[in-house]
Amino acid sequence: MLEKEKLRKADVYSGIVIFLFGAWIVWQASKMPMKDSWGGVQNVWFVSPALFPLFVGAMIMLLGFLLARTALKTIGMKAFGDTLQWLFSQNLLQFLNTVPVLRFYAITVLFLAFVFLNIPRIDFFLSAVLFLSVFITMFYFDETVLLKKLFFFYLAGTVFFIFYFALGLEGLLSPVLPFAKDILTLVFILGYCLYAWRLIRSNPLLRKKYRTGLIVAVVSPFVVGVIFKYFLLVPMPAEGMVVALLDAIWYFDF
């Protein structure tokens, strides 16, 4: 019974988040034109591309509302108030500092930075090497203390790159220093690897894991990337310093 109560408490907040997500979809879909004219032909509202996302968003809002309502009916307002009180207590900070939550932070930051920050802007090979180096060393070592230190080191570098691109520093540096963002990424990769080595150099088992992880992190992107780039002729999401070097080698452009 206690486990079911915990699940119902979680359902309240899940329902609220789902409802807000549906509201966001509706808000974005409302920006689409409901009717317009192309080539002198007036389109009516029921063929608008906004209808499907509006319908999906409304259904998500409804389902989120029903989930939260059902959960509240099960646990009652008093239990909901106790949960709100817990959210603003020190117990929440202790929970957020647990190892499972820290692992969740690390995975979330890694994938968000890789997909939305690095891949669209930084050379694919460097982005992939950075992602794999960090991912493997943080989780393959299986040490909580190391995970925390490596995560905060990577987080600091990610924050730096967010400000670097947000403030337009790339536009200022690239005319002076070609491939500036790729060079900075390479420096970050080397700095991270040196920092990780400094943390584990006294442990023979971790040193072995470190070498294995780095080999996989470097070799895998180049094997897969070269196959797609030069044999399947698939362009990389972002092509920079490494792709330019590989092009020069592949096409003997010296």
CA distance 183 to 185: 5
Reported as a single tens digit per residue, the pLDDT across 72-129 is: 787 766 666 666 676 666 766 676 677 788 888 899 999 999 999 999 999 999 999 9
The whole-model pTM stands at 0.73
Reported as a single tens digit per residue, the pLDDT across 140-187 is: 998 889 999 999 999 999 999 999 999 999 989 988 999 999 999 999
**Taken in order 33, 38, 42, 46, is the CA torsion positive or negative?**
negative
Please list the helix, strand and coil fractions of the chain in percent, rounded to the nearest 5, in that order.
80, 0, 20
Reported as a single tens digit per residue, the pLDDT across 219-250 is: 999 999 999 999 988 889 999 999 999 999 99
From the list 141, 155, 124, the residue with the least C-alpha distance to 220 is: 124
DSSP-derived 3-state class of residue 38: strand
Q: What is the DSSP letter of 43?
A: P
Please name every residue paired with 37 in a beta bridge, in sequence order, or none if there are none: 42
